Amino acid sequence: MQRIVIDTNVFVSALIQKSYPYLIIHELFLTDKIMLCISDPVFEEYYAVLGRKKFFKISRISRKSQKNY
Q: Give the Cβ contact number of residue 6 at 10 Å.
A: 19
Whether pTM > 0.75 for this model: the answer is no
Question: Is pLDDT at 62 greater than 50 in this prediction?
Answer: no
Which of residues 21 and 61 earns the better pLDDT score?
A: 21
Give the containing element (helix H, strand E) for 3: strand 2-4
Name the 3-class secondary structure at 60. coil
- The answer to whether residues 16 and 50 touch, using CB atoms and an 8 Å cutoff, is no
pLDDT in tens, 5-59: 888 888 888 878 777 878 887 787 778 888 888 899 988 998 888 888 887 776 5
Domain residue extents for the chain = 2-68
pLDDT in the model for residue 68: 52
